[in-house]
Amino acid sequence: MSEQAREAPQRRAEGPLRLGTRRSKLAMAQSGLVADAVRQVTGRPVELVEITTYGDVSREHLAQIGGTGVFVTALREALLRGDVDFAVHSLKDLPTAQPAELALAAVPVREDARDVLVARDGLTFAQLPDGARVGTGSPRRMAQLNAYARSHGLTIETVPIRGNVDTRIGYVRKGELDAVVLAAAGLNRIGRIDEVTDFLSVDTVLPAPGQGALAIECVADNASLVAALGELDDPLTRAAVTAERSLLAALEAGCSAPVGAFADLLADGQTVKEMRLRGVVGTTDGSTLVQLSTTGPVPETHDQAMALGRELAAEMLAKGAAGLMGERAH
């Protein structure tokens, strides 16, 4: 049997590429954007295949489910079974350990990485009244928002919520909460960015590692598909999120740990000089934060980006970061 004949049934070299996606409005929007881009670069039709993940059906709070990757596992299983050809994840939902059988074929240009506030009556964060009820179940957001409030002599009450974006904004519209905190990227992608009442600067609230970026994944041994999807890769976004995720991994923290990280480029005039990586770990009440940054040459390899994250993690651990993370795996 020729090489080609053996590969044909598995690889579906002809016909549409099947993109596995969750059903949520955000996932469908993200997959739709990537599907369009993949059609453009490959010239092949792309069809969306809907897949339900554990994160979509569980009634538990994410932090209680414990462990990372609840949104990701079902999509990965579909990839490994060959039910779909590629999948799109929110990079911040992706566990830091990359399975050898799967390739992170592309990290496209990052969207707005910031967290945002959707508050009643158009309020900014600084305008919230003392004792305001702010919806977020993320220990990272709780730690930084509580610290920010403290530094302004205020207290806020963070209220754990989950559910899709409609549900979360609904708590504000129904008057149950004064505000909720969400990722700008998600609101942008589903066309609801105009509901934001305050964009939280990364100087105030560091986003989750990888926030605002997408990950396009396929099986590692399909070299031609890895290469085709790789056309959508943005090397600088990849370097930034690799450094951020390396920090998270080196702190031995998961996606539900109170860790924020953001890498950006420092330019001197028109010339990009360095990459800066900032990181924060804190107690959820915001009483203690370890917040540090490091800069280095713009990483040109995966290993260089990983090294930047490890370097910052070592400095943060030396300043007591480990003692502030309640949810370490070990």
Ligand X SMILES: NCc1[nH]cc(CCC(=O)O)c1CC(=O)O
**Residues with a known catalytic role:** 92-93, 140-141, 162, 168, 255
Q: Quick one: 179 or 185, whose CB is closer to ligand X? A: 185
Which amino acid is present at 88?
A: V
Extract long-range pairs of 1-9: CB within 8 Å, 24+ residues apart.
Answer: none
Backbone angles phi, psi at 69, to 5 degrees: 80, 20
Measured between alpha carbons, how far is 182 from 47 in angstroms, rounded to an integer? 29
| Binding residue (CB under 6 A) for ligand X from 104, 185, 243, 324 | 185
Asked whether 250 and 313 are in contact (CB, 8 A), the reply is yes
Work out whether 94 is an interface residue with ligand X (CB under 6 A).
no
To which residue do tokens 């129904």 refer?
174
**Segment interacting with ligand X, rule: CB under 6 A, options 38-46, 89-97, 98-106, 267-275:** 89-97
Measured between alpha carbons, how far is 68 from 63 in angstroms, rounded to an integer? 9
Q: Quick one: 21 or 90, whose CB is closer to ligand X? A: 90
What count of other Cβ atoms lies within 10 Å of the Cβ of residue 197?
Answer: 17
| Binding residue (CB under 6 A) for ligand X from 182, 241, 253, 306 | 182
Work out whether 136 is an interface residue with ligand X (CB under 6 A).
no
**Segment interacting with ligand X, rule: CB under 6 A, options 43-51, 87-95, 149-157, 216-224:** 87-95
| Residue 274 bridge partners (DSSP) | 266, 297
Asked whether 234 and 211 are in contact (CB, 8 A), the reply is no
| Binding residue (CB under 6 A) for ligand X from 179, 183, 253, 281 | 183
Q: Quick one: 53 or 222, whose CB is closer to ligand X? A: 53
Q: Quick one: 136 or 222, whose CB is closer to ligand X? A: 136
Asked whether 205 and 148 are in contact (CB, 8 A), the reply is yes
**Segment interacting with ligand X, rule: CB under 6 A, options 11-19, 88-96, 149-157, 318-326:** 88-96
Backbone angles phi, psi at 181, to 5 degrees: -115, 130
How many residues interact with ligand X (rule CB under 6 A)?
Answer: 9
Kindly list the residues in this chain that would bind ligand X in the complex (CB under 6 A): 90, 92-93, 182-183, 185-186, 211-212
